């Protein structure tokens, strides 16, 4: 298994949650054992006091050995070795259990010498559960013990349930931690699944664009050769059709190059070749090329000084700035105007602004325009071109350079402004 940052983070997170859950289970077990020990001691002390009072009433000496024997978790035998009455025994059991605050159901039985059987005493219900006591009686649960004469047995039918209910707070914490672990595992599963789909998508885009470029190059070579032939030049109709083929092929090639650039930035394959260049000169080139391609557009460039040296990848810088200007023209008015301004403050970086006079973008869509494949809905859908990856590519390149990019609608006039802030650390 290849260990990358995601796998390491997932592994550490899983170890942390499992560790916390293990600690919680250990604490739960310790609390269970403590509760079990505490209840056992309460029962033992209460029964010991009952025996002491019986011996006191009979003016007898207490035996050296303890008369209390724990047969099972919820069943106790008390070998009194002296006579006692049923009514007095029940009174002492009630008073001693109340004294140690043992709020729990119990039932008792005594050995009868004449019948050589255990005689059922009573079911004592705690709290307001006396009405259901008859349904919970278990007279057959008391068995005779050989070799004993004066003894009684006490059974606690709800003792095990009491352990669980007394640790309710711990069970809630453990349940919450289990839920967190399940949600974490499920989220990691979805994340890895999404990552797999993303990688498949990138592979598909890369393969698709590479497969398109070979036949497209052949089409362009053949079309450029054919358009120069005398037969084509003498036929206005054929010449027109070939020019359309060349124009659309170039447009398709432009889209393919853009998709490849985005796929590379997503895969982390883009290696920025940073060098010092004059931002104003590059933006001048962007302005000239956009003006030639879009004859109806008015592109203006202003700068508070003629030379701003920036350490960046000039190729990608040209692409993203041209992309912004091209979008402003394509989705603008019939007579689009784009103002490119370069300004700076003392001791700070450079601010690039691209302001247009277009219709702008509705506020509910502004937060998503830099998302991959997102396209702003427009009234005339025929005017919408591209795949919604232009501004995504712009933002990715800015992030790779450590620049900040923002977009907002103009306040006092139509259109919007895209701003790119180049920090001082990127200045040459």
Q: Where are the domains of the chain?
A: 5-166, 192-267, 275-426
CB 256 within 8 A of CB 213: yes
Measuring CA to CA, how many Å separate 323 from each of 319, 354, 382? 6, 11, 20
Region 254-259: what's the mean pLDDT? 69
Predicted pLDDT at 208: 67
Q: What percent of the chain has pLDDT over 70?
A: 87
**What does the pLDDT look like over 182-240, one tens digit per residue?**
888 888 888 888 877 777 766 776 676 667 767 777 887 888 888 888 888 888 888 88
**Among candidates 227, 220, 263, which has minimal Cα distance to 242?**
227
3-class secondary-structure state, position 402: coil
Of 7-21, 290-304, 310-324, 334-348, the least confident: 7-21
Q: What percent of the chain has pLDDT over 90?
A: 17
Could you give the CA distance from residue 168 to residue 160 in angstroms, rounded to a whole number? 13
Residue 323 has pLDDT above 60, yes or no: yes
φ, ψ of residue 413 in degrees (nearest 5): -150, 160
Backbone conformation region of residue 291, classed left if phi is above 0, alpha if psi is from -120 to 50, else beta? alpha
Burial 74-105 (b: 16+ CB within 10 A, else e): bbbbbbbbbebeeeebbebbeebbeeeebebb
Measuring CA to CA, how many Å separate 261 from each of 86, 105, 254, 257? 94, 76, 11, 6
φ, ψ of residue 157 in degrees (nearest 5): -65, -25
Predicted pLDDT at 131: 47
Q: Name the one residue in this structure whose structure tokens are 């009868």.
A: 112
Could you give the CA distance from residue 19 to residue 184 in angstroms, rounded to a whole number? 14
Higher pLDDT, 387 or 57: 57
Of 37-46, 54-63, 130-139, the least confident: 130-139
φ, ψ of residue 305 in degrees (nearest 5): -155, 155
φ, ψ of residue 328 in degrees (nearest 5): -60, -35
CB 121 within 8 A of CB 138: no
CB 152 within 8 A of CB 119: no
Region 164-191: what's the mean pLDDT? 79
Could you give the CA distance from residue 39 to residue 16 in angstroms, rounded to a whole number? 34
Residue 104 has pLDDT above 60, yes or no: yes
Confidence of residue 343 (pLDDT cuts 50, 70, 90): very high
Predicted pLDDT at 129: 54
Domain 275-426: give its CATH architecture.
2-Layer Sandwich (3.30)
Residue 255 has pLDDT above 80, yes or no: no
Residue 305 has pLDDT above 70, yes or no: yes
Of 116-125, 239-248, 304-313, 370-379, the least confident: 370-379
């Amino acid at each position: 298994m290849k260990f990358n940052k995601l796998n390491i983070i997932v592994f550490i997170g899983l170890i942390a949650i499992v560790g916390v859950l293990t600690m919680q289970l250990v604490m739960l077990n310790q609390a269970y054992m403590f509760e079990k020990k505490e209840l056992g001691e309460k029962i033992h002390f209460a029964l010991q006091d009952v025996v002491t009072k019986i011996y006191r009433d009979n003016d007898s000496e207490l035996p050296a050995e303890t008369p209390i024997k724990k047969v099972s978790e919820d069943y106790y035998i008390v070998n009194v070795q002296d006579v006692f009455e049923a009514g007095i025994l029940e009174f002492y059991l009630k008073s001693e259990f109340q004294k140690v605050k043992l709020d729990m159901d119990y039932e008792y039985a005594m050995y009868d010498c004449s019948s050589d059987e255990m005689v059922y005493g009573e079911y004592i219900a705690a709290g307001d559960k006396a009405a259901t006591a008859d349904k919970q009686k278990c007279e057959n649960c008391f068995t005779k013990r050989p070799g004993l004469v004066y003894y009684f047995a006490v059974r606690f039918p709800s003792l095990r349930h009491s352990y669980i209910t007394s640790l309710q707070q711990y069970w809630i914490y453990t349940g919450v931690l289990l839920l967190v672990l399940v949600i974490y595992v499920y989220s990691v599963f979805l994340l890895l699944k999404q990552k797999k789909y993303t990688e498949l998508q990138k592979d598909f885009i890369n393969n698709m664009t590479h497969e398109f470029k070979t036949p497209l190059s052949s089409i362009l070579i053949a079309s450029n050769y054919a358009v120069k032939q005398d037969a084509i030049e003498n036929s206005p109709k054929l010449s027109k059709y070939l020019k359309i083929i060349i124009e659309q092929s170039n447009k398709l090639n432009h889209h393919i190059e853009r998709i490849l650039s985005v796929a590379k930035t997503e895969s982390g394959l883009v290696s920025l070749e940073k060098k010092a260049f004059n931002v104003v000169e590059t933006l001048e080139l962007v302005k000239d090329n956009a003006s030639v391609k879009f004859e109806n557009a008015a592109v203006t460039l202003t700068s508070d000084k003629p030379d701003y040296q920036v350490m960046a990848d000039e190729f990608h810088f040209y692409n993203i700035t041209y992309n912004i200007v091209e979008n402003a023209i394509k989705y603008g008015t019939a007579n689009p105007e784009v103002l490119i301004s370069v300004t700076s403050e003392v001791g700070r970086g450079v601010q690039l602004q691209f302001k247009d006079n277009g219709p702008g973008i509705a506020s509910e869509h502004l937060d998503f325009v830099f998302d991959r494949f997102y396209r702003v809905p427009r009234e005339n859908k025929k005017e919408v071109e591209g795949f919604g990856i232009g501004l995504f590519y712009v933002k990715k390149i800015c992030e790779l350079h450590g620049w900040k990019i923002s977009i907002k609608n103009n306040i006092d006039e139509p259109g919007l402004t895209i701003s790119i802030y180049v920090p001082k650390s990127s200045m040459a």
